[in-house]
């Protein structure tokens, strides 16, 4: 299948259409400190870790709370919302993962989100069993657009980076994938904001298109 030996999926905006919920919760958290960001400003944080996001907000708006407190308050609020939310996988995701699993191509998740959040989403969407390994923002020092998270996923899968394919919906994610010397599918999710995916090898709007591309159609 296109000489791909492993596929690494971003989670938010690729496996699940979670970015609108995230942005809503981010706006709620920012409002606690009198900070208001529009959708374009919010979209700049798509694909990054909570630590990176709150580091920028703390610096730009001179917030006096510690970074740990800012992160903890937002994380607790987000987990509470996710626990109540019915979470569904994106259309076509299960069919694509089934195809890859049947072809013996191992899959991984490489998400900038914290592990607790990733675990909740993968369990509630019933996708966890498809993946050989799950790498989270907690597992690396440098978040996307640095390639660390994808390189760690490839290492855990035992596959050379150049033989891996990444599926990403964010500019930071595509940049990280190419920095890791991996091929990349840019998944154009309108709910992820106006993301520049021009560096991706191909761009798609539905997971069925990825399946067709993988099969050489």
Annotated catalytic residues are 10, 12
CA separation for the pair 39, 113 (Å, rounded): 19
First-to-final CA distance of the chain: 11
Helix pair angle (67-84, 115-124), 10° resolution: 10
CA separation for the pair 76, 78 (Å, rounded): 5
CA separation for the pair 46, 68 (Å, rounded): 20
Distant-in-sequence, close-in-space partners of 144: CB < 8 Å, separation ≥ 6: 47, 48, 112, 170, 172, 173, 175, 176
Q: How many CB atoms lie within 10 A of CB 66?
A: 11
Distant-in-sequence, close-in-space partners of 38: CB < 8 Å, separation ≥ 6: none
- CA-based nearest residue to 125, from 13, 16, 206, 17: 16
CA separation for the pair 56, 77 (Å, rounded): 19
């Amino acid at each position: 299948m296109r000489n791909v030996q492993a596929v690494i999926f971003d989670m938010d905006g690729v496996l699940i259409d979670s970015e609108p919920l995230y942005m809503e919760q981010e706006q709620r958290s920012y409002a606690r400190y009198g900070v208001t960001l529009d959708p374009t400003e919010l979209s700049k944080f798509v694909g990054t870790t909570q630590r990176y996001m709150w580091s920028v907000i703390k610096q730009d708006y001179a917030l006096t709370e510690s970074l740990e407190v800012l992160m903890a308050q937002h994380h607790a609020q987000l987990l509470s919302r996710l626990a109540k939310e019915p979470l569904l996988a994106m259309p076509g995701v299960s069919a694509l993962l089934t195809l890859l699993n049947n072809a013996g191509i191992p899959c991984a998740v490489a998400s900038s989100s914290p592990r607790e959040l990733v675990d909740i989403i993968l369990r509630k969407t019933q996708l966890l069993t498809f993946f050989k390994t799950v790498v989270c923002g907690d597992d690396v020092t440098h978040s996307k657009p640095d390639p660390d998270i994808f390189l760690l996923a490839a290492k855990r899968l035992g596959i050379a980076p150049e033989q891996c394919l990444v599926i990403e919906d964010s500019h930071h994610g595509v940049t990280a994938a190419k920095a890791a010397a991996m091929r990349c599918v840019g998944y154009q999710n309108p709910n992820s904001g106006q993301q520049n995916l021009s560096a991706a090898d191909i761009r798609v709007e539905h997971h069925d298109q990825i399946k067709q591309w993988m099969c050489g159609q």
